[in-house]
């Protein structure tokens, strides 16, 4: 019973984190070249706040519950190399999500200083980080479903 509850919390937190991540990417790209400056600034603030409120705590909760799942059922560590690769990809996801969050903070600081070049540069870098993380999410899902090795 405990295993099922922890697994449900793990899956729910992953869904919240990944969903928020894709919403951030969509909001950032949709208003990337908008003529309405108020909408651009609002989209940047929404992306930053969504990441701070939902994505980062969701990723942290997913990591903690994942470690609890391995602690409850250590047989997972002996199932194959796919779990180890998945854990490595999860660490890369953590790093890239924190880097993307830092870029969003830099966007907000550049917007406050009215530095449009800094805003656009950081938006491009954040969009690239979002794409890298999305590729890692797909790889993690493939490792979970297919268990290739």
**Does the reported pTM lie above 0.95?**
no
- What confidence score (pLDDT) does residue 51 get? 87
Torsions phi, psi for 87 (to 5 deg): -65, -40
- What confidence score (pLDDT) does residue 105 get? 92
- What confidence score (pLDDT) does residue 99 get? 92
Q: Which residues of the chain have pLDDT under 70?
A: none
Which residues 6+ apart lie within 8 Å of 44 measured at CB?
28, 104, 107, 108, 111, 119, 123
- What confidence score (pLDDT) does residue 84 get? 86
- What confidence score (pLDDT) does residue 143 get? 87
**Rounded distance, CA 45 to CA 137, Å?**
24
Torsions phi, psi for 147 (to 5 deg): 45, 65
- What confidence score (pLDDT) does residue 80 get? 76
């Amino acid at each position: 019973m405990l295993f099922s509850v922890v697994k449900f919390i793990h899956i729910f937190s992953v869904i919240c984190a990944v969903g928020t991540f894709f919403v951030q990417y969509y909001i950032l790209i949709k208003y990337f070249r908008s003529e309405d400056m108020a909408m651009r600034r609002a989209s940047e603030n929404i992306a930053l706040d969504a990441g701070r409120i939902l994505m980062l705590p969701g990723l942290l909760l997913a990591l903690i519950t994942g470690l609890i799942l391995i602690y409850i059922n250590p047989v997972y560590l002996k199932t194959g190399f796919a779990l180890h690769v998945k854990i490595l990809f999860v660490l890369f996801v953590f790093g890239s999500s924190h880097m993307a969050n830092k870029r969003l903070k830099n966007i907000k600081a550049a917007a406050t200083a009215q530095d449009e070049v800094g805003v656009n540069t950081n938006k491009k870098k954040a969009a690239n980080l979002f794409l890298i993380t999305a590729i890692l999410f797909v790889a993690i899902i493939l490792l979970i479903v297919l268990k290739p090795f």
